[in-house]
Amino acid sequence: MPVQPAPYSTLVWRKSSASAGAGECVEVATSGQAVLTRDSRAQAGPVLAFTTSQWLGLLQRIKNG
């Protein structure tokens, strides 16, 4: 039986430079109109998908504290 690639394995995932290599952060990738996030230590685990509007709203809330 051929091995199927993981559904998100072909995406380019980015990690924040603020993580300082500690491994305790999320990774972000884009796929079409979606912004995807995952735990950098559980790369085969669940992925959260946001619309661009939702993602920008989340970032704004984080920046505002």
Residue 6 has pLDDT above 70, yes or no: no
Model confidence pLDDT, tens digit, residues 8-61 = 778 999 987 776 666 678 899 999 899 999 988 888 888 999 999 999 999 999
Domain locations in the chain?
A: 26-64
Measured between alpha carbons, how far is residue 61 from residues 23, 27, 47, 65 in Å?
23, 18, 20, 6
pLDDT at 4: 47
Q: What is the mean pLDDT of the chain?
A: 83
Could you tell me the pTM of the whole model? 0.77
DSSP string, 20-62: TT-S-SEEEEEETTEEEEEETT-TTS--EEEEHHHHHHHHHHH
Residue 10, both tokens: 């072909």
